[in-house]
Structure 1
């Protein structure tokens, strides 16, 4: 079987379209509605999304909360080292990346706090042990919001609020589930008035979601694992609504991957706690539970754009992205949204 070149998922792109700041109001972002039945595109504002819902649809959100995962520490010699926390291993131990030189294990200091850091493994990852300190208190006090590298500025207090969704609860991600950033309590109230039920799951977004594809062929790319949890009551309700013929609207690629992973074995959602997924959704994948998707605009040649092409159809997605580029939509984490119906 022939393999698929990553170049298939390239598209022309102006870097000036990368949103450096969020819109003043979450729901004032633009919304491109993409209809897979008619191949039509509609230009709207995100607050208009309520008009495209009815009581035959229900919504699933990712309620993860972003860690203030960037920390600046001092070596015993006095040199500064940046720590990027990736994933909690247990109470006080995290996987992390270090900026700068680090040859062996040793201690780092964040003001009065002492951390023990292992030497780098073959992938450049270290283990950080916060020893006698509460890592979440340290992150809250000294941590920085881990804005993506394409946002060319330092984080600020606004990012602590706006790089999280209004429904974020369970801390554990190093990147935001960005499709959810556009929602407001007012939108949720209007959806509920229309009879739309809303459910939450958790997928802790890791760097693997945004890791660039460096292989020539997409089949050779390996996804990093990310943990997710789905409560039994939520799984049971989703399965019942699907059996009743209701349409599941996934908010973001993280929700798509979690639900499709949870359904991959039996065709319906299996409840789980701290399960792991490395599911790489690409063209040819048969979606089992997700019917419609809300998503932001993604990088060329990314696993996220590949997923969107699998869901929305390659030709239609190329058309939608070309329209978005031409019409100056804002791209990536703080950018605008797309609703694929």
Structure 2
């Protein structure tokens, strides 16, 4: 399933020569082949009709394959007093189309707000956008009250080497925020591997999305419906929330050969005190902490790392990179979609159940025609399945 490693195809720097066969440390060890037709272009309707692959044992093989379920079966699979940790971030209309002063078309993808109305963004074509360059945007027709915002101008004030992006300052008066106007100027961005989708904007939002700021959805949460949430609650399965504004760095492949040298991008997280209290109460009562998505994992484990090894309420940034060998502090189980090859997300899940096991599970999912990536099916790793 993984590509065969051949010495002549690898740039073996001195640090990697003696680790050639250590696939947990080699980015190439997290590769796999996926048929293009299994990349989901549209979400399941209804949301909870997607497939659910359940990992409930520490051994995975032909005699003990993962269980094939439907996502709506979740209340029967989880236990009373389990706690689901969900990411309440909301995707913003972060893709904007504008023009240069010459009239040439420009595409902008907002990544994060650095200061008030100053955004780090990817700009296409971007190489010619030097400091001082301007981009002009035309808004969709709104009501008379907002007539003054029929157009918008952004000025390049800085560049960012880590992303290849530009920092754009938007010309808005005091008291106005770009986020308030994005519905007029922007579009909800879908990942680049979704090329032929008929999905409505709200299908790329979780039903519990509350806090605007993400440029990509926390996709494990897309499978929940209000009805399923109600059934979980009736079963005594609780939920609590964190916020992590998902950025495009989450989906980018790890480009170094040695996984341990990868520098993770920063993401803004908030773990409120109410969630910390629920987690402590759940563990004290013998319940289990199940993260809904890798973003929830990163928020909980990142907050713990930032607070000196003990989970506390936290608001700020984390660049925690989780890969095999990581010592888990909070999370005991995980609901997640199927991830891109060589991605940090694949490495995170490998840290929970092991790289070889995960690739065998992916092989099973491919053979069983599971749908992959953002609009795809889901996998549930129960605490009994954690290595």
Range of TM-score over shorter length: over 0.9
Q: Which whole-Å deviations, capped at 9, do the CAs of 1:165-221 have from their partners, x for residues lacking one?
A: 000010111111000000011111111111111101101111221121111111121
Structure 2 residue corresponding to 1:114, chosen from 109, 129, 153: 153
The 2-side partners of 1:6 and 1:305 are apart by: 10
* 1:72 aligned residue: 97
Q: Which whole-Å deviations, capped at 9, do the CAs of 1:18-47 have from their partners, x for residues lacking one?
A: 001111211111110111345441111111
The 1-side partners of 2:206 and 2:223 are apart by: 8
Q: Which whole-Å deviations, capped at 9, do the CAs of 1:37-60 have from their partners, x for residues lacking one?
A: 454411111111111112131111
Contact 2:301/2:329 (CA < 8 Å) preserved in 1?
yes
Contact 1:238/1:269 (CA < 8 Å) preserved in 2?
no
Report 1:163-178 matches (<5 A).
163-178=204-219
Contact 1:294/1:338 (CA < 8 Å) preserved in 2?
yes
**Alignment of 1:11 onto 2:32:** yes
Q: Which runs of 5+ in 1 are unaligned?
A: none
The 2-side partners of 1:119 and 1:56 are apart by: 49
State the SS of the aligned residue for 1:234. helix
**Alignment of 1:20 onto 2:41:** yes
Distance apart, 1:129 and its partner CA:
1.5
Report 1:283-298 matches (<5 A).
283-298=324-339
Distance apart, 1:144 and its partner CA:
1.5
Distance apart, 1:102 and its partner CA:
1.7
The 2-side partners of 1:301 and 1:115 are apart by: 35
Q: Which whole-Å deviations, capped at 9, do the CAs of 1:45-84 have from their partners, x for residues lacking one?
A: 1111111112131111000001111101111221111111
Report 1:206-285 matches (<5 A).
206-264=247-305, 265-273=307-315, 275-285=316-326
State the SS of the aligned residue for 1:319. helix
CA shift in 2, pair 1:27/1:226, >3 Å: same
Q: Which runs of 5+ in 2 are unaligned?
A: 1-17, 139-150, 383-387
Q: How many residues align?
A: 338
State the SS of the aligned residue for 2:200. helix
Q: TM-score, normalising length from structure 1? A: 0.94
The 1-side partners of 2:231 and 2:308 are apart by: 34
The 1-side partners of 2:321 and 2:161 are apart by: 23
State the SS of the aligned residue for 1:49. helix
Structure 1 residue corresponding to 2:185, chosen from 142, 153, 158: 142
